[in-house]
Structure 1
């Protein structure tokens, strides 16, 4: 599994998100407490940027219609979204955030 260096951890707001592109894939880097997650940045319901939404209780909320997605699984926790968003592996080393878009299944 290959990881790509994306940005310094300090660029991601505390309990917030940063939208980035990795190999033409829109990714929302999300800090929730001390954890960092990466999910596809496009809401599965309305195709708007999730990184512009609110982060709370381990979820990110789509700003348009209010669907929340679990940062661990990508699954929606409430309607109107019914489809999950992709999640990606993240690691933080020496203050930098690395993401792997590949699956290790």
Structure 2
């Protein structure tokens, strides 16, 4: 009778290890910002992430005023900035790095700066979040407008 008990214990041990390893692997760290995301979006495959210096230099010309539509904005992915013009002649500059998971925002439309990674949206007027999951505002950089150019103040 000892043989079946030993066999049963061995099978139980194998089954326990077989179930434990995948659970432990699932709890491990992952450098992918989309890992563990239950939305199915932004799994980190080829989504841009913010890696530039977050503080553009004072006096840096960033875009022409003609390239920023009234009631909207333009994204400058290389500088990781977004420039908006909520009303004619009123310009704002924000980081283009989403405060939720660090993706670069994807569009400026319907009065919002939108991030396709997880659906966050921000106000074009002050960078505050208007649609979750983001809860923190985009960092704003003061600008000056002269000669048709938007420049970091």
**TM-score, structure 2 normalization:** 0.52
Tell me the equivalent position of 2:144.
91
Unaligned runs of 5+ in 2: 1-57
- How many Å separate the matches in 1 of 2:127 and 2:67? 22
| Greater RCO (Cα-Cα under 8 Å, separation 6 or more) | 1
User: 1:76 pairs with 107, 124, 129, which one?
Assistant: 129
Partner of 1:45: 100
Does the CA contact (< 8 Å) of 1:17 and 1:55 recur in 2?
A: no
Measured in 2, the distance between the counterparts of 1:43 and 1:7 equals 20
Q: TM-score, normalised by structure 1?
A: 0.70
| SS of alignment partner, residue 65 of structure 1 | coil
Which residue is equivalent to 2:67? 11
1:60 aligned partner: 113
Q: Which has the higher helix share?
A: 2
Distance 1:11 1:54, change over 3 A: closer
* 8 Å Cα contact 1:32/1:56 also seen in 2: no
Q: For the residues of structure 1 that align with 2:126 and 2:63, how far apart are their CA atoms? A: 23
